[in-house]
Amino acid sequence: MRISEIKIGGFGGQGVILTGMIIGKAAAIYDNKYSTMTQAFGPEARGSSCSAQVLISDEKILYPYVTKPDVLVVMSQDAASRFIPDMKQDAKAVLLYEKDLVNLEGIPYKATGYGIQATRFAEELGRTMVLNIVMVGFFTALAKLLSADAARAAVKDSVPRGTESLNLSAFDKGYEYGLSLLKA
């Protein structure tokens, strides 16, 4: 049985928990896999550290907690500093990070790393708050754990009514950028 362990980290207000929920929903509901999610956040609603942990498997999951992430998504410097040392340290592991908010200098890791200017892409779409959906698209392209159709369906099903088009554009922006990095 192969279980993929995913950890998403950032600060409150970046949509970290929603990112985890969308990834889990895409796997469990739209890709016919098993998935669990746990979350952790500081006592403050915005600005404090927060994380979501998601497991995806083709078989039932017996232990719902991430021990050593195969895929780490970090959207803040604090998350990078705290969580990179805990991830699997091999070339098969994938580190995805928000390029404008995370400086990896001085943080040792052995994973394959990909950066994206998710906040800038979200700003170009007119709403900074969709940076997490840009990251979901980026994750989908590079982690290769979900089909793009499943992830799009989960995004559409998870965002507030009336924002589906904006959020799907954000997803596509991240997804296309991720695919362009794979081709390079």
Model confidence at 108, pLDDT cuts 50, 70, 90, reads: confident
Residue found under tokens 């394959």 = 112
pLDDT mean across residues, the chain: 93
Domain ranges of the chain: 3-183
Query: What pLDDT score was predicted for residue 91?
Result: 84
Query: Among 44-48, 129-133, 138-142, whose mean pLDDT is lowest?
Result: 44-48
For residue 134, give the nearest of 178, 72, 77 by alpha carbon: 178
Query: What pLDDT score was predicted for residue 106?
Result: 87
Model confidence at 13, pLDDT cuts 50, 70, 90, reads: confident
Percent of the chain scoring above 90 in pLDDT: 86
Other residues' Cβ atoms within 10 Å of the Cβ of residue 172: 17
Of 3.40.50.1100, 3.40.50.720, 3.40.80.10, 3.40.920.10, the CATH number of 3-183 is 3.40.920.10
Tokens of 120: 């800038």
